[in-house]
Amino acid sequence: MTKVTLSRTHHNSVEIKQSRLKRDWMDNTYNKHAYQCTPVTTANVSGWEMILPEELVVIWDGGPSPARIISGGVHNGFKFAHSNIHGMISIATGWAINTEEGYSLWTTGSPNYYVDGASPMTASIPSSWWPDEVQTNWVIHKINEPVTFPKGSPFLFFTIYPTDLLPSVEFEVINRWDDKDLEESRRKYNDLKMKNSQEKPWTWVKGIKTGLDADNKKIGPVTKGILKLSDLDNGVGENDYDELQ
């Protein structure tokens, strides 16, 4: 078990919970087809998100000017939104986040979640010692058009990773076609996907989820439902994955 320490820097710190599974654009796909993609749904919930306590509307006039707050940005006396440099808006969290030694904090926008007219900046923080409050910045793309961050939406996503992991990576380059057995296995699997798409439209073979190839041989681990991560109340995040299977 790895410990993460959350330190309030304000009495009205924003809500933190496991990153939500659901996305509006995924709901709008045919038969919610996008939820059948295990890599996407896993990414959606592989961390925690901070929730916007009030609607925030900003506008950018273009050029070197900062984005301006039109409405929102304050919740119970906590001014969580601030104009920033060159077309950006800064959102405070009211939290400092510290990990155990050997880990770093990765902050960005919630995976596969989009805000019309804005993109989140991404940061890696030396969280085993850095004492300051976590903040995030969004870059505004629209000029002279309001950009809305809805109340209850995720404005910051964070996860942790071992600090020494990436420097220890070594690459080995091979040719997959030199592995005849693997090539034949993937050919048969692609044939199975083609057959499935014809006989059972809008369904997936789910090889990543089952860990089985076209001959039902085990080639990987079984993906057992959605990840369950700790919340501040020692509960878990949304558990709406099973109903989408």
Residue 242's pLDDT band, with cuts at 50, 70 and 90, is very low
The per-residue DSSP string of 164-179 comes to TTGGG-------GGG-
**pLDDT tens digits, 80-115:** 999 888 899 999 999 999 999 999 999 999 999 999
Q: Report, in this order, helix, strand and coil percent for the chain, each rounded to 5.
A: 20, 30, 50
What one-character DSSP code corresponds to residue 9? S
Two tokens, residue 168: 């220890």
Q: Is the pLDDT of residue 235 over 50?
A: no
Q: Is 137 helix (H, G, I), strand (E, B) or coil?
A: strand
Q: pTM here?
A: 0.88
User: What is the spatial distance between Cα 88 and Cα 93, in angstroms, rounded to a whole number?
Assistant: 16
- In the CATH hierarchy, which top-level class contains the domain 4-166+229-239? mainly beta
- Residue 1 class from Cβ within 10 Å (0-12 exposed, 13-18 middle, 19+ buried)? exposed
The dihedral through the CA atoms of 235, 45, 112, 197 has a sign that is: negative
Residue 223's pLDDT band, with cuts at 50, 70 and 90, is confident
Q: What is the pLDDT of residue 233?
A: 55
Q: Span 208-232, mean pLDDT?
A: 86
Q: Span 165-170, mean pLDDT?
A: 96
Q: Span 61-79, mean pLDDT?
A: 91
Q: Span 143-163, mean pLDDT?
A: 97
